[in-house]
Structure 1
Amino acid sequence: MAKRARPTRVGISDVATKAGVSLATVSRVMNGNFSVDPQIADRVRAAATELKYQPNPMGRNLARGKTDTIGVVVPDLANPTFQGVLRGVSRAAAHDGYRVLIADSSEVSSEEAVLAGEARRRCDGVILCAPRMSPAELEELAPSLHPMVLVNRITEAADSPSVMVDYGQGIQGLAAHLADLGHTRIAYVAGPESSASNALRLAGLEAFTQTHPHIELVILQSGSTFEDGHDSADDVVASAATGILAFNDLTAMGLLSSLNERGIRVPEDMSVTGFDDIPFARYTTPPLTTAAVPIIDVGEHAWQQMRDLLNGTDTSDTLQVFQPHVVPRGSTGVPAKSTARTPE
């Protein structure tokens, strides 16, 4: 039985031969270049139609110098906060015809520069979401990633806009909430040392203690995951604090679980707050008091800034700051043997 010949793919050279023009002319016509004589362009399109030529999207994008894709680098894709940023970016980008390539550095700061560089080579631009690299590393890397948008970091590099959440203001609001309930000894279960948002929280708490000298503040080293929060319980109990500020909702949930295992009641024996207001926060036992962040809006605005960079749009909106707001729920209350202080 004779072997059936495989169909031959029609290429750009076939169209050029059929139309009697050069490869460059076919390329310009296929890419929408209006500098080609209209009669010649019609001949090229007629030849392409007759041959049923289908342009290679990848090759066409390379010729245009575009991929219609942006890269987003995050430190921990398992964290619902970063998932929210990605959701905001991807939805807004898709509306404008762009796709999103995602890279997860798994909280390893040394991986970020490599991942960001690879993403930039494959994409039209990069959004760095809460990078863990040092300020010096960021400043050195930023020019090579242009166009670049930062989430929760800033840089002095030209044309590198940022979207920020005011974590300092947010943590002060949570601390004030605990103070107004009557808590005078408060512990902060800190996030990763390399986290810029953790540094902003610490700065906010320093400002809070300056205006609330009667509050004792204890800083406890921890991390950003559920497991980190669970493992912090021994230090939390040893601190003798009655009000606890966790780095984020995940660590707060881990702490709630561990306190429950120890028979420590929340909020009767100890009040606990989170940060971010991820979707699960309202369904913990008890529901988690937290600081809500409009995280989808953060992602959408990051894309808007990237779109302006890609389009060469002049904009003075190089820094957008979103303000968290305190959402009181059942995990905070008046400390034992105390009455709430009336807010001034």
Structure 2
Amino acid sequence: MAMPTIYDVARRAGVSPATVSRVLNGRSTVDAGLRDRVNAAATQLGYRPNSLARNLRRSTTNLWAVVISDINNPFFTALVRGVEDVGQGLGYSVVLCNSDENPDKEADYLQALLADQISGFIVSPTSRTENLAALHEAGRAVVAIDRRPRNLAVDTVLVDNEHGAREATTHLIEQGFRRIACITGPARLSTASRRLRGYRSALRAAGIEPDPALERHADFRQRGGYAAMATLLAARPAPDAVFVTNNLMTVGALEFLADNDIRIPDQVGVVGFDDVPWATFIRPPLSTVTQPTYELGRTAATLLKARIEDPDRPPETATLRTTLHARASSRRR
């Protein structure tokens, strides 16, 4: 049987999760009647605070923490800059941590940051929702960025991943490609699953049934893109185009094509997701779906400030649009 959560207590008491958090953390600003209802509900359900949340002390600083999933990915550079620019303007300093897609490393960082009295968190979450839930239960302001955490109602900033994937795949179809492959990330991550969904949607809209043999789940890293491209081109018949759902895997896929003297786009058309600074410098120039990374960071910081000022406001999801930049790597000659 699952352990009761702060959300179960909130439903039983008829209050918001933020109110439950303030009661359980001993805040004096909660009405006595509400406090009694929350305590009674917690007792009835046998609720026990998360061990991470128990480490919380009572005061906070003017520090924000940004926990990203891969510091080697240039996607996060402009994103963090957007957070920092807003935070600095509001009097907050920003601490940067890299979870390296490791849920245990993410948990260690968050536990240490709670002890250091960080007042707000912007997190690109790994697959373990409990890590973010612990922050929420501790009464800290939390914004998820880039990925939607499962079964957790917190402020979230995303891009329209399905729209971007549909545009990329539709472009390849319109250029005359028919056996279009997709290299996406781990199935447990919302970005990977939604981009795969957009790819499939575009194929079906063109009367092409998605072929599981043309789909690969990799690790959102360069080596994963390289290995996935290798297995795709070993198949018969091989794909005539590929949509790669992040920048590092696109680098890996391009590396494999170059190592094997496979011409782009004559033999394989390529569209990547996430722009990269050198996209227009390589030959042929790379077609990409660009995310508004700086605006993602700014939007997350704005939501975090609003959450700090009003902990009881309903969770908000901001979804930003992507832009397709079609270049020579995906254009039929």
1:103 is displaced (CA, Å) by 1.2
Match of 1:31?
none
1:64 is displaced (CA, Å) by 9.7
| Identical columns (%) | 25
Contact 1:267–1:331 (CA<8 Å) still a contact in 2? yes
Q: Say whether residues 1:169 and 2:163 are aligned partners.
A: yes
Aligned AA (2:224): D
Secondary structure of the residue aligned to 2:144 is strand
Contact 1:107–1:132 (CA<8 Å) still a contact in 2? yes
Aligned AA (1:77): I
Q: 1:98 aligns with which of 92, 98, 108?
A: 92
Aligned AA (1:189): I
Q: What per-residue deviation string (whole Å, max 9, x for no partner) do you get for residues 69-124 of structure 1?
A: 10111111110112221111111111111111111111112322232232233211
Aligned AA (1:257): E
Give, in whole Å, the separation in 1 of the partners of 2:303 and 2:150. 15
Q: Say whether residues 1:249 and 2:247 are aligned partners.
A: yes
Match of 1:125?
120
Q: Where in structure 1 are there 5+ consecutive unaligned residues?
A: 1-62, 336-344
What is the root-mean-square deviation in Å for CA atoms of aligned residues?
2.4
Aligned AA (2:121): V
Contact 2:200–2:210 (CA<8 Å) still a contact in 1? no
Larger Rg: 1
Contact 1:276–1:291 (CA<8 Å) still a contact in 2? yes
Which of structures 1 and 2 has the larger relative contact order (alpha carbons within 8 angstroms, sep 6+)? 2
Give, in whole Å, the separation in 2 of the partners of 1:313 and 1:221. 38
Q: What per-residue deviation string (whole Å, max 9, x for no partner) do you get for residues 179-208 of structure 1?
A: 000111111112133322001112223333
Give, in whole Å, the separation in 1 of the partners of 2:174 and 2:282. 23
Secondary structure of the residue aligned to 1:277 is coil
Match of 1:306?
304
1:276 is displaced (CA, Å) by 1.2
Secondary structure of the residue aligned to 1:220 is strand
Secondary structure of the residue aligned to 1:308 is helix
Q: Say whether residues 1:183 and 2:181 are aligned partners.
A: no
Match of 1:342?
none
Instruction: Summarize the Cα distance change of 1:295–1:132 in structure 2 as closer, same or farther, 3 Å threshold.
Output: same
Match of 1:259?
257
Match of 2:40?
none
**1:213-252 equivalence runs, <5 A:** 213-214=207-208, 216-217=210-211, 218-239=214-235, 240-252=238-250
Contact 1:110–1:133 (CA<8 Å) still a contact in 2? no
Secondary structure of the residue aligned to 2:276 is coil
User: Could you state the TM-score of these two structures normalised by the residue count of structure 2?
Assistant: 0.74
Q: What per-residue deviation string (whole Å, max 9, x for no partner) do you get for residues 214-272 of structure 1?
A: 25541023221222222333213124111101121221122112211211101111111
Give, in whole Å, the separation in 1 of the partners of 2:168 and 2:114. 38
Instruction: Summarize the Cα distance change of 1:241–1:157 in structure 2 as closer, same or farther, 3 Å threshold.
Output: closer
Q: 2:294 aligns with which of 280, 286, 296?
A: 296
Q: 2:324 aligns with which of 323, 326, 329?
A: 326
Give, in whole Å, the separation in 1 of the partners of 2:247 and 2:155. 27
Q: Where in structure 2 are there 5+ consecutive unaligned residues?
A: 1-56
Match of 2:206?
212
1:154 is displaced (CA, Å) by 4.5
Q: How many residues align?
A: 271
Q: Say whether residues 1:111 and 2:105 are aligned partners.
A: yes
Instruction: Summarize the Cα distance change of 1:146–1:157 in structure 2 as closer, same or farther, 3 Å threshold.
Output: farther
Give, in whole Å, the separation in 2 of the partners of 1:284 and 1:315. 47
Secondary structure of the residue aligned to 2:294 is helix
1:329 is displaced (CA, Å) by 1.0
Instruction: Summarize the Cα distance change of 1:268–1:172 in structure 2 as closer, same or farther, 3 Å threshold.
Output: same
Give, in whole Å, the separation in 2 of the partners of 1:313 and 1:214. 47
Contact 1:81–1:295 (CA<8 Å) still a contact in 2? yes
Contact 1:120–1:145 (CA<8 Å) still a contact in 2? no
1:321 is displaced (CA, Å) by 0.3
Contact 1:113–1:141 (CA<8 Å) still a contact in 2? no
Secondary structure of the residue aligned to 2:94 is strand
